[in-house]
Homo-oligomer: A and B are copies of this chain.
């Protein structure tokens, strides 16, 4: 059976940290298939890491183990967690990285990492990715039971992500939470949070049409659509919405919905 371990960090690819963590994983589970998800999460940006994890993990096969390390509190008293959510297992710091995973899986089993025998010795107080999370994930990929990592806990940290605000006119005010490489704007509004079909999307003072795909507008024109991870996204076809609309993280995006059943936005 394939033992897939997928890695998401803010380590970047310029430094050797990621390589060292991979070595530590393979030392425990040499037959693992390591998969790089994203390593350019902005340094210490737990929310950005949580969004990236949300976008990537559901596409993976049952049994995949994820190691997620965006860990500004490394060396402090913050706990480490190992989580069974649906068919996936996730390992990382207890700092909100798993917010969207836990929101999607209220039934998830969350365990604190306390079994020191699973990590490297000695544990560097500045590098739990290599010395704790990587090895724990490798043991889980080899079949270790979640119970053997540590006790089940019920108070995993979740981020206080702003929800879209309902306006007096029945519309919603969302906010840009991420700008991707293409200049596309990802918002905090998920399809399920809308009450009716989207009629108008406003970014700044500009109305952008709500469409099914980039290809529905001419080159260089802005549009709003359902992005690949189910969030409202604002884009410019073959261009950058961030540049064209002078928008960035924190820019409000207003959505006016028409009448219709809950959840029918798209």
Chain A positions near chain B (C-beta within 8 angstroms): 1-2, 4, 6, 8, 11-24, 26-27, 30-31, 33-40, 43-44, 51-53, 55-61, 64, 72-77, 120, 124-127, 130, 180-182, 212-216, 225-229, 233, 237-238
Chain B contacts for A26, CB-based, 8 A: 2, 4, 33, 35, 60-61, 64
Q: Determine the residue in chain B with the shortest Cβ distance to A63.
A: B30
Chain B contacts for A77, CB-based, 8 A: 215
User: Quick one: copies of this chain in the complex?
Assistant: 3
Query: Do A19 and B181 touch across chains, with their CB atoms under 8 A apart?
Result: no
Chain B contacts for A21, CB-based, 8 A: 59
Query: Do B213 and A125 touch across chains, with their CB atoms under 8 A apart?
Result: yes
- How distant is A175 from chain B, measured CB to nearest CB, in Å? 19
Chain B contacts for A74, CB-based, 8 A: 213-215
Query: Do A73 and B215 touch across chains, with their CB atoms under 8 A apart?
Result: yes
- How distant is A148 from chain B, measured CB to nearest CB, in Å? 22
A51–B238 Cα gap in the complex (Å)? Answer: 20
Chain B contacts for A38, CB-based, 8 A: 13-16, 18-19
Q: Determine the residue in chain B with the shortest Cβ distance to A216.
A: B75
- How distant is A184 from chain B, measured CB to nearest CB, in Å? 9
